[in-house]
Amino acid sequence: MTSSVALQNEPTPITACTVARDVQNFDLLIEDMETELGESWGDLNFVDAAAYLKQPDAHELEFIAIAVDGNDEDNLHGIGDLIARAKEIDVKVILIAEDVSPIALHQLLKLGADDFAPYPLPEGALHDAIQRIRKPKAEPAPVPVSDEEGGDAPKKHVSTGKMGELDGVILPVHGLAGGAGASTFAVNLAWELANVEKKDNPKVCLVDLDFQFGSASTYLDLDRRENVYEMLSDIETMDDDAFKATVQQFNDCLDVLTAPNDMLPLDLLGPEEIEKLVRTAQRNYDYVVIDMPSTLVQWTETVLGMAHVYFGLLELDMRSAQNTLRLIRALKAEDLPYEKIRYVLNRAPKFTDMSGKSRARRMAESLDIDIELHMPDGGKPVAQACDHGLPIAETAAKNPLRKEIVKLAKSLHEVNADEAAG
Ligand SMILES: Nc1ncnc2c1ncn2[C@@H]1O[C@H](COP(=O)(O)OP(=O)(O)O)[C@@H](O)[C@H]1O
Ligand SMILES: [Mg+2]
């Protein structure tokens, strides 16, 4: 083994080891390892690491840091075997990846790497990863309700069903052009649904699946917590309790699964995992509002398939029109249920704006779609509510946009209640 010399002859015991094709490609990792561990670490290439991990000495390691880049993708098998072997002998694995495709990254994480950091390493990332693997696996936090209200008191927003046995209405919101207003719509629709009744409100969960630019946490002033990533990267073992421990409560009546703290590749989760995530939410809530990324991803069709109503938000401009056309074509080409999309025109022309209204009509005709919902421009107060991290209801209850969203929430709830009643 090329680097075994360093490993075996060091006077200081070796407690960790980098594993890379050539660790010199990861000089920031070398620096950080020195900062964290002084001299008590070594480095190995993949071949030598495979041999070393079979030796009794290897049991002494606390962790290995496997650094991979795009050129290692052909060797995923070999790297997977290393991770498996490390797990066998109870050595933790931190994965450090540069330019690795989301699919490859996902596979490696699934094989059981304990932690992950992107390369170039952000300030403190290795330190944090080491701290995390040193912590014993966190027990799922208690369900927030007992913190708030003490004991087993029922949630304020009681609905007829028990959590875990519900069959929620799935309402994804997809912006057909960036800034079209999808997140604002999703956040405020979720809020209005959660307050649609005078008492016994339905249970509502807002799920932010825009793993990169998700803004639900900003619009409701919630933390972006580390545990979101932890849950998303291990959907396989996620259960109802883990889900409920990961959502945050907003003002006692709306649960929110925010986007993770770090920007993650949208393909970190595959269709099956997204399905499990959404089903879990569905079992535990009456309404699941999903803020979708604008980009089409593998699992867009999964969510489209599961949706009761799939809102497509657009504006009265060329960009929205062309994107909508492209989206419909893409969905048709794949034989996907494009007709499930219900179009919402945001910043729609006012009632009195005749020319605006005729432009909207022409746009719908030329796209061969129905634009069923018109959301008015709510002006500055809308952006201000977003910036303050509050639903519009809390800062500008009379705002025209809010009024329309309330109407929509009521009608959705009525339809749903009627259907439930038979
Ligand atoms: N109908 C509206 N009236 C006024 N401002 C709006 C309206 N819809 C969205 N906005 C504002 O536009 C900006 C972008 O909205 P956002 O919901 O984040 O878009 P998206 O999620 O589609 O990218 C936000 O500042 C929001 O407050
Ligand atoms: Mg958004």
Distance 174 CA to ligand 2 centre (A): 8
Token look-up 């022409």 returns: 362
pLDDT for the residue numbered 246: 97
pLDDT for the residue numbered 146: 31
Segment 56-71 shows an average pLDDT of: 92
pLDDT for the residue numbered 331: 92
Task: Judge if the beta carbon of residue 293 lies within 6 A of ligand 1.
Answer: no
Segment 194-217 shows an average pLDDT of: 95
Residues 7-63 have pLDDT tens digits of 333 356 789 999 999 999 999 999 999 999 988 888 899 998 999 999 888 998 999
Please determine, for residue 75, whether its predicted confidence score (pLDDT) is greater than 50: yes
Please determine, for residue 140, whether its predicted confidence score (pLDDT) is greater than 60: no
Task: Judge if the beta carbon of residue 142 lies within 6 A of ligand 1.
Answer: no
Banded model confidence at residue 158, pLDDT cuts 50, 70, 90: very low
Task: Judge if the beta carbon of residue 181 lies within 6 A of ligand 1.
Answer: yes
Residues 302-356 have pLDDT tens digits of 999 999 999 999 999 999 999 999 999 999 998 899 989 999 999 999 867 878 8
Token look-up 């796209």 returns: 367
Please determine, for residue 165, whether its predicted confidence score (pLDDT) is greater than 70: yes
| Rounded Cα–Cα distance for residues 74 and 101 (Å) | 12
pTM above 0.85, yes or no: no
What's the CATH class of domain 164-421? Answer: alpha beta
Banded model confidence at residue 137, pLDDT cuts 50, 70, 90: low
If one residue of 173, 183, 184 were mutated to test the ligand 1 pocket, choosing by the most ligand atoms within 8 A of its CB, it would be 184
Please determine, for residue 197, whether its predicted confidence score (pLDDT) is greater than 90: yes
Q: For a pLDDT cut of 90, what percent of the chain falls above it?
A: 68
Helices and strands of the chain, counted as H and E runs: 18, 13
Domain with CATH 3.40.50.300 in the chain: 164-421
Atom of ligand 1 nearest to the CA of 215: 18
| Rounded Cα–Cα distance for residues 39 and 35 (Å) | 9
| Rounded Cα–Cα distance for residues 46 and 70 (Å) | 15
Buried b (16+ CB within 10 A) or exposed e, 228-252: bbbbbbebeebeeebbbbbbbbbee
> What is the residue with the minimal CA distance to atom 10 of ligand 1?
181
| Rounded Cα–Cα distance for residues 203 and 242 (Å) | 18
Please determine, for residue 150, whether its predicted confidence score (pLDDT) is greater than 80: no
Task: Judge if the beta carbon of residue 346 lies within 6 A of ligand 1.
Answer: yes
Task: Judge if the beta carbon of residue 292 lies within 6 A of ligand 1.
Answer: no
Segment 154-160 shows an average pLDDT of: 40
Segment 133-154 shows an average pLDDT of: 46
Please say whether the beta carbons of 81 and 49 come within 8 A.
no
DSSP state of 191: H
Atom of ligand 1 nearest to the CA of 291: 21
Residues 232-254 have pLDDT tens digits of 999 999 999 999 999 999 999 99
Long-range contact list for 133-142, CB < 8 A, 24+ apart?
Answer: 133/63, 133/92, 133/94, 138/227, 140/241, 140/242, 140/245, 141/227, 141/245, 142/245
Segment 394-406 shows an average pLDDT of: 96
Segment 107-133 shows an average pLDDT of: 88
Provide the mean pLDDT of the chain: 88
Task: Write out the two tokens for 75.
Answer: 């060797």
Segment 184-190 shows an average pLDDT of: 98
Q: Which residues share a beta bridge with 225?
A: none
Buried b (16+ CB within 10 A) or exposed e, 275-298: bebbebbbbbbbbbbbbbbbebbe
Task: Judge if the beta carbon of residue 390 lies within 6 A of ligand 1.
Answer: no
Distance 214 CA to ligand 1 centre (A): 13
Task: Judge if the beta carbon of residue 314 lies within 6 A of ligand 1.
Answer: no
Segment 143-153 shows an average pLDDT of: 34
> What is the residue with the minimal CA distance to atom 25 of ligand 1?
383
pLDDT for the residue numbered 12: 66
Banded model confidence at residue 149, pLDDT cuts 50, 70, 90: very low
Annotation: CATH topology of 8-134: Rossmann fold (3.40.50)
Residues 247-282 have pLDDT tens digits of 999 999 999 999 999 888 898 899 999 999 999 999
Domain with CATH 3.40.50.2300 in the chain: 8-134
Report residue 396: phi and psi, to 5°: -150, 70
